[in-house]
Each structure stands twice: as C-alpha cells, then as structure tokens.
C-alpha cells in the first residue's frame, strides 16, 4: 500500500521529479540516455495525469468556486503534453525537430505546474481539512502505484530495479509477472526518440496498460 501523504505534497514531489528529468535531458549529450530520459518523462506525465484525472480534478470541481473551469484548463494542458509526446515518438533524438518539441513540451508542463502550485494547491490547503488531503493523497498514490515505471523495451536501464524500478512487479521471465504482457508497454517494440513508428504512441499504450 502506498504511504500516506498530503495530496499537495505528493503532487508537488511529482512536479519536482519531472523537472529533474527535464534537466537531465537538457544536460545530457548521450543520445541513448536522452531517449531513456524522454521515455521516463512520458511515463511520469501519464502516471501523474491519470491519477489527477481520477481523483484530483473531481475534487477540484467540487471544492473550488470555479472548479470546473480550473479543472478543464489543467486537463487540456495535460492532453496537449500527451499530444506532443506522441509527436516526439515519431522522431529520432538526432532529428533537430526533436529538441524543439521537447522545449514545447517543457513549456506546457511548466504551465501545468504553475497552475496547480499557484492556484489549485493553495485552494486545497484552505478548503480541505488535513484529513481530507491525506485521504485524497492516498487515493492518488494508489492510482500512481498501478502504473508502469519501465515502458521501454529491454527492462532495467534508466531507473533500474531500485527505488521506483521494477521491484514488486517481477522482472523474472522477461518481466511478464504481475500484469503480464498483454497491455504492458514493455512488451511492445519502439519508444520515444528511437525513430520507430508505432501504431499508437507510448503515452496511449501506457494508458491502455493502466486499464487492462
């Protein structure tokens, strides 16, 4: 079971993690590492998005005076981020358009972060009790824990098996324990920045994995 956290603290930590991944991409000169970082960014964004869509935004709609408007704006930004991720998957990291799209993605994600941290989170601290924020944080944490942490083929590069890696889901036998390979994006070929065209973008395949 995920640890209990105030939902504001939990999602703020998510934001910092994604920002660190973007910084890692910006400072890396290794094409393989940059590709893996973008795949990690893809999964973090989808994990974050799914959890917020399921639990945060329904609460925002009820708790904030203009909750419907605020929730719709944030969801539009997350949808735009996933659209850009789909465009990135169709390009190789060596393509000069790739970095331009990454900058566009960073701008959209940064706007999303500012909207939550400057508007939504202060309102939630004011309008929800600590107990309510903890309960919401638990639900968000459970939704996030159901998502894959290694979408790219090959298994254990990048984050590895420690921390947020593959422990708990099982990596023996080619990583097929747990949910198996039917919906697991790890079982599909292609990934962000490798120039392999997939029928559907990685972000969509991660979402399918979540609903399997």
**Long-range pairs for 185-188: beta carbons < 8 A, 24 or more residues apart:** 185/148, 185/151, 185/209, 186/148, 186/150, 186/151, 186/152, 186/153, 186/155, 188/153
Q: Kindly give, in sequence order, each residue whose CB lies less than 8 Å from that of residue 24, ignoring residues fewer than 6 positions away.
A: 33, 37
What integer pLDDT is reported at residue 158 of this predicted model? 36
Domain architecture of the chain: domains with CATH:
7-211 (1.20.120)
Q: Kindly give, in sequence order, each residue whose CB lies less than 8 Å from that of residue 133, ignoring residues fewer than 6 positions away.
A: 6, 7, 8, 124, 125
pTM beyond 0.85: no
Collapse the DSSP code of 147 into the 3-class scheme (helix H, G, I; strand E, B; otherwise coil) and give the result: coil
For residue 3, is it left (φ>0), alpha (ψ between -120 and 50) or beta? beta
What integer pLDDT is reported at residue 206 of this predicted model? 63
Q: What is the pLDDT along the chain (212 residues), one digit of tens a residue?
A: 556 699 999 999 999 999 999 999 999 999 899 999 999 999 999 999 999 999 999 999 999 999 999 999 999 999 999 999 999 988 888 888 999 999 999 999 999 999 999 999 999 999 999 999 999 999 999 988 775 544 443 333 333 333 333 333 333 333 333 333 334 444 444 555 555 455 566 667 666 665 55
What integer pLDDT is reported at residue 144 of this predicted model? 84
């Amino acid at each position: 079971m995920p640890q209990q956290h105030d939902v504001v603290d939990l999602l703020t930590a998510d934001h910092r993690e994604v920002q660190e991944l973007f910084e890692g991409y910006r400072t890396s000169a290794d094409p393989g590492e940059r590709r893996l970082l973008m795949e990690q960014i893809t999964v973090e964004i989808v994990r974050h998005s799914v959890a917020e869509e399921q639990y945060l935004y329904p609460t925002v709609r009820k708790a904030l005076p203009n909750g419907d408007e605020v929730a719709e704006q944030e969801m539009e930004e997350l949808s735009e981020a996933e659209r850009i991720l789909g465009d990135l998957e169709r390009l190789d990291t060596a393509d000069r358009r790739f970095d331009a799209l990454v900058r566009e993605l960073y701008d959209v994600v940064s706007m999303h972060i500012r909207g939550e941290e400057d508007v939504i989170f202060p309102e939630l601290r004011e309008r929800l009790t600590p107990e309510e924020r903890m309960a919401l944080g638990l639900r968000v944490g459970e939704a996030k824990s159901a998502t894959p942490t290694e979408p790219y083929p090959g298994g254990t590069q990048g984050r590895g098996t420690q921390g947020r890696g593959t422990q708990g889901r099982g990596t023996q036998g080619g990583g097929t324990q747990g949910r198996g390979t039917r919906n697991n994006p790890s079982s599909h070929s292609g990934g962000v920045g490798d120039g392999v065209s997939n029928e559907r973008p990685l972000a969509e395949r991660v979402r399918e994995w979540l609903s399997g």
